[in-house]
């Protein structure tokens, strides 16, 4: 079943930096929008000439504001067209379908302190988290790397509302956001990363070395992890007895959906676990960031959006 | 204290057999993740039993409050979210029964069925007579359970439970999903509990789910708490193949699951329906199917569901009914 969507109107477009625009979205029928939790995102469904583009963007507005949502989009020339469409085609007054808010990057409840590390547009999920923590008077720090003050989205917002908590690292001023910031922190500190894959990996690896447990490390990716060639493989569906060839360069999930097989999914980048299916036979090449090392070893589930067969074929419980 | 029943005529009378949620899709029943998308998207169903059941609920809450309502301090925000969700739904789906007027944080909620009107300040506990979940639960037939999602697990954070099938919110409060399901045989040990937990953790707002659960109850008693087992448990001994048609009731729980996006918790609702086997007989296909399910049912399930003592009597009753 396709989830119910919310219809919104783009009320205002703001240039945050040369490459980043933010979009204020209000409910089309003026009814209140659902509240959301810090770190939530929405899926936007853009109807273009070549079909639907589904993209996920963090909500940067206040979680209790039911009057409007705000998202920020960085124009990415290398993207498959989502961000370019938002930048070049979406106008004030346009009507767009969005999902209800979802959260695959929630704040830890047991954390005593929260340290956020953002690179570039990776700042977006931390904006609603910071608002939520500030209301609860819970301790947190934002560490934010950007090329310069001019190219730093939400610089004024952060300097105004979170001046004490925010630390900027501008590479043009030769300031580097170091993983050493995570050292010597009190017990109960949780760390959160958002930015390019290499940055997340660097920080997550460093956090493990410093001694953070897997449960205290949180991150959100914007793009699917790059993990090797996408070789073709074969899949057998146990319940329907169908055999499917997954071609080179295409995901198992997209192959299933194209064949109108009702496979579950949400983020499509190996981060949420929604597309998890049970594997009855075959060796899995796990490429997601969702399953724990333990779960990957037990090896009877696959995230169809990014993972593949190690060799030969898989038998799925579908 | 009893509720006003003069507005009974406002709810359309439809025979129970025409609207009963019969739970069996085939001739065999085992535990599985049988959740399916909730097409209607709504939580509350108003049935002709509304007045009777609301009255019963409120009596239980008056006389045995700690038995039927429990909450942890950190659930208050989540409870306000549930209240908002339900008031908005009731006023939208049943405008002839409910309305809400919002003036900023000043809300006036009206229940036209009961001729009751409440004005309160959203977010201010001192303006409500009860905690938010306890308040709104007194206007719907469903039991309401709020589970907090934290650090990859679900916790029983608050619940108003007046019509339990022999489980206790007072006992389960604060437990994790895995802890409060540990008594369920096979479901728990087979790894199915973990699979279902993984499913629940990923329920999204705007995409609710539903499933039917069932058991049997002797006499039409909704409030079968472990705490008052002495009042209803001994009735099982009275069942014979002669009287099973009047005494034994198929008890079906229409369960629904909703993500509450503000606190990222799960709202679990249970609408319990009871039908006597004599009444069920009016649909012969259902009676036949129920007979086959019962004959196929493993002992551990009859034991856990609490009717192994009189299962033989029901089967004899059904054999007689179906050959006549």
What pLDDT digit, counting tens, does each position of B49-76 carry?
Answer: 999 999 999 999 999 999 999 999 999 9
Q: B58: buried, middle or exposed (CB in 10 Å: 19+, 13-18, 0-12)?
A: middle
* Section A117-124 average pLDDT: 96
Q: Which of A34, A66, A108, A262 to mutate to test the interface with B (most CBs of B within 10 A)?
A: A34
> For residues A32 and B88, what is the distance between their CA atoms, to the nearest angstrom?
10
- Give CA–CA dist A153/A16, Å, rounded: 6
Residue A232 burial (CB count, 10 A): 12
Distance from C-alpha of B180 to C-alpha of B171, rounded to nearest angstrom = 9
Q: How far is A214 from chain B (nearest CA, A)?
A: 11
Residues of B in contact with A277 (CB under 8 A): none
Q: pLDDT value at position B10?
A: 94
Instruction: Find where tokens 């950007």 sit.
Output: A146
Residues of A in contact with B264 (CB under 8 A): 37, 40, 103, 106
Look at residue A219 and tell me whether its pLDDT is greater than 60.
Answer: yes
State the pLDDT confidence band at B192, using cuts at 50, 70 and 90.
confident
Q: Which residue of B has its CA nearest to A62?
A: B262
In the Cβ-directed half-sphere of B249, how many Cα atoms lie within 13 Å? Answer: 20
Query: A188 burial class (0-12, 13-18, 19+ CB within 10 angstroms)?
Result: exposed
What integer pLDDT is reported at residue A3 of this predicted model?
Answer: 62
Residue A224 pLDDT level (bands cut at 50, 70, 90): low
Judge: B262–A35 Cβ closer than 8 Å, yes or no. yes
Contact call for B198 and A276, based on CB within 8 A: yes
Check whether A186 has a pLDDT greater than 90.
Answer: yes
How far is Cα A204 from Cα A7, in angstroms, rounded to an integer? 37
- Interface list for chain B against chain A, based on CB atoms closer than 8 Å: 37, 39, 41, 81, 148-152, 198, 201-202, 204-207, 259, 261-264
CB contact under 8 A, B204 and A100: yes
A26-35, A215-224, B11-20, B209-218: range with lowest mean pLDDT: A215-224
CA separation for the pair A238, A253 (Å, rounded): 16
- pLDDT of A291 reads 83
CA-wise closest residue to B229 among B273, B172, B270, B168: B168
Among the residue ranges A261-265, B12-16, B121-125, B168-172, the one predicted with the least confidence is A261-265
Contact A193, A219 (CB under 8 A): yes
Both tokens assigned to B303:
């034991």
Q: Say how far apart CA B258 and CA B146 lie, in whole Å.
A: 10
Nearest chain A Cα to B102, which residue? A32
> What secondary structure letter does DSSP report for B295?
H
Stretch B88-99: mean pLDDT: 96
Q: Which residues of A fall within a CB distance of 8 Å from B39?
A: 1
> How confident is the model at residue A1, as a pLDDT?
37
B228-271 pLDDT per residue, tens:
999 999 999 999 999 999 999 999 999 999 999 999 999 999 99
- B42 touches B50 (CB < 8 A): no
pLDDT at residue A53, rounded to an integer? 86
The pLDDT assigned to A274 comes to 81
C-alpha count within 13 angstroms, C-beta hemisphere, residue A16: 26
Question: Are the beta carbons of A4 and B261 separated by less than 8 Å?
Answer: no
Cβ atoms B132, B262 nearer than 8 A: no
Q: Closest to A4 (Cβ–Cβ): which among B41, B198, B201?
A: B41
B107 Cβ contact partners less than 8 Å away, ≥ 6 residues apart:
B87, B100, B101, B119, B120, B121, B122
In this prediction, residue B182 carries a pLDDT of 84
- Confidence (pLDDT) at B90: 97
Answer whether B264 sits within 8 Å of A215, measured CB to CB.
Answer: no
Residue A163 main-chain phi, psi, to 5 deg: -65, -35
* Partners of residue B201 in chain A, C-beta under 8 Å: 273
Mean pLDDT, rounded, of chain A: 91
Longest dimension (CA), chain A: 61
- Please state the ipTM of this predicted complex: 0.84
Buried b (16+ CB within 10 A) or exposed e, B106-125: ebebbbebbeeeeebebeee
Q: Which pLDDT value is given to residue B311?
A: 96
CB nearest B206 (choices: A4, A109, A272): A4
pLDDT, position B291: 97
Strand partners, B233: none
Q: Is the pLDDT of residue A228 over 90?
A: no
* pLDDT above 70: residue B95: yes
User: How many angstroms separate the CA of residue B285 from the nearest CA in chain A?
Assistant: 28
pLDDT score recorded for residue B195: 77
- Say yes or no to pLDDT of B25 above 50: yes
pLDDT at B320: 94
pLDDT tens for each residue of A30-71: 889 999 999 999 999 988 887 788 899 999 999 999 999 999
Q: Where are the alpha helices (DSSP H) in B173-216?
A: 177-181, 192-201
Burial of B190 (0-12, 13-18, 19+ CB in 10 A): exposed
Q: CA distances (Å), B90 to each of B84, B87, B103, B261, in order?
A: 10, 5, 18, 19
- pLDDT more than 70, % of chain A: 96
In total, the C-beta contacts within 8 angstroms joining chain A to chain B are 62
d(CA B40, CA B93): 11
Strand residue runs (E) in chain B: 36-37, 69-71, 98-103, 106-111, 116-121, 143-150, 153-160, 209-218, 248-260, 265-276
Residue B1: predicted pLDDT: 55
Q: A36: nearest CA in chain B?
A: B262
Any catalytic annotation for residue B259?
no
The DSSP symbol for A299 reads -
Sort A66 into a burial class: Cβ within 10 Å, 0-12 / 13-18 / 19+: middle
Query: How many Å apart are CA A168 and CA A175, to the nearest integer?
Result: 8
Give tens-digit pLDDT for A99-109: 999 999 999 99
**pLDDT band per the 50, 70, 90 thresholds, residue B189:** confident
The residue count of chain A comes to 318
Q: Largest alpha-carbon pair distance within chain B?
A: 65
How far is residue A193 CA from its own chain's centroid?
Answer: 11
**Per-residue confidence band for B152, with pLDDT thresholds at 50, 70 and 90:** confident
Q: Which residue is closest to B88 within chain A, CA to CA?
A: A32
Locate the chain B residue with the closest alpha carbon to A218. B151
DSSP 3-state of A243: strand
CB contact under 8 A, B204 and A215: no
B148-160: b (≥16 Cβ within 10 Å) or e = bbbeeebbbbbbb
Residue A309 phi, psi (nearest 5): -85, 140
Cβ–Cβ under 8 Å, residues A167 and A194: no
Confidence class for position A134, pLDDT limits 50, 70, 90: very high
Q: What is the pTM of this model?
A: 0.88
* Cβ contact A80:A269 at 8 Å: no
Residue B123 pLDDT grade (very low, low, confident, very high; cuts 50, 70, 90): very high
């Amino acid at each position: 079943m396709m989830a119910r969507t919310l219809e919104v109107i783009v009320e205002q477009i703001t240039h945050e930096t040369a490459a980043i625009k933010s979009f204020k979205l209000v409910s089309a029928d003026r009814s209140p929008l659902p509240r959301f939790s810090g770190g939530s995102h929405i899926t936007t469904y853009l109807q273009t000439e070549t079909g639907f583009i589904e993209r996920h963007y963090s909500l940067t507005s206040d979680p209790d504001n039911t009057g409007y949502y705000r998202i920020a989009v960085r124009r990415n020339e290398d993207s498959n067209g989502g961000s370019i469409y938002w930048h070049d085609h979406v106008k004030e007054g346009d009507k767009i379908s969005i999902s209800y808010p979802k959260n695959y990057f929630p704040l830890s409840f047991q954390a005593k302190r929260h340290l956020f590390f953002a690179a570039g547009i990776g700042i977006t999920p931390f904006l609603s988290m910071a608002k939520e923590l500030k209301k609860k008077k819970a301790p947190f720090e934002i560490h934010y790397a950007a090329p310069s003050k001019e190219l730093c989205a939400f610089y004024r917002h952060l300097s105004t509302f979170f001046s004490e908590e925010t630390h900027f690292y501008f590479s043009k001023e030769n300031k580097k956001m170091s993983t050493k910031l995570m050292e010597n922190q009190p017990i109960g500190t949780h760390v959160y990363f958002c930015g390019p894959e290499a940055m997340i990996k660097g920080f997550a690896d460093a956090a493990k070395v410093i001694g953070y447990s897997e449960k205290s490390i949180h991150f959100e990716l914007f793009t699917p992890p790059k993990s090797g060639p996408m070789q073709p493989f074969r899949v057998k569906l146990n319940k329907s007895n169908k055999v499917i060839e997954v071609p080179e360069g295409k995901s198992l999930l997209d192959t299933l959906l194209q064949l109108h097989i009702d496979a579950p999914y949400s983020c499509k980048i190996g981060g949420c676990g929604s597309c998890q299916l049970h594997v009855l036979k075959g060796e899995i090449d796990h490429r997601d960031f969702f399953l724990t090392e333990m779960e990957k070893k037990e090896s009877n589930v696959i995230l169809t959006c990014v993972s593949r067969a190690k060799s030969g074929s898989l038998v799925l419980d579908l | 204290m009893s509720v006003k029943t003069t507005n009974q005529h406002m709810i359309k009378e439809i025979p129970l057999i025409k609207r009963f949620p019969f739970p069996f899709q085939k001739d065999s029943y085992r535990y599985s993740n049988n959740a399916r998308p909730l097409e209607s998207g709504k939580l509350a169903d108003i049935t002709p039993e509304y007045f009777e059941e609301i009255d019963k609920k409120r009596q239980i809450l008056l006389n045995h409050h700690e038995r039927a309502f429990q909450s942890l301090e950190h659930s208050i925000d989540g409870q306000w979210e549930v209240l908002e969700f339900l008031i908005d739904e009731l006023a939208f789906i049943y405008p002839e029964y409910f309305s809400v007027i919002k003036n900023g944080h000043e809300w006036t909620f009206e229940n036209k069925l009961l001729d009751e009107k409440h004005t309160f300040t959203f977010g201010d506990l001192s303006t409500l007579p009860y905690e938010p979940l306890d308040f709104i639960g007194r206007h719907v037939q469903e039991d309401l359970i709020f589970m907090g999602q934290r650090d990859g697990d679900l916790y029983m954070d608050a619940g108003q439970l007046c019509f339990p099938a022999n489980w206790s919110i007072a006992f389960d409060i604060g437990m994790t999903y895995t802890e409060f399901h540990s008594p369920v045989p096979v479901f728990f040990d087979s790894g199915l509990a973990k699979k279902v937990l993984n499913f629940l953790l990923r329920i999204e707002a705007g995409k609710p789910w539903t499933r039917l659960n069932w058991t049997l109850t002797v006499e039409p008693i909704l409030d079968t708490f472990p705490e008052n087992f002495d009042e209803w448990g001994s009735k099982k001994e009275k069942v014979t193949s002669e009287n099973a048609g009047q005494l034994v009731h198929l008890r079906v729980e229409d369960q629904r699951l909703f993500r509450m996006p503000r606190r990222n918790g799960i709202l679990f609702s249970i609408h319990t329906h009871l039908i006597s086997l004599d009444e069920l007989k009016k649909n012969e296909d259902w009676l036949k199917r129920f007979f086959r399910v019962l004959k196929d049912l493993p002992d551990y399930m009859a034991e856990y569901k609490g009717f192994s003592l009189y299962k033989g009597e029901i089967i004899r009753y059904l054999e007689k009914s179906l050959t006549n």
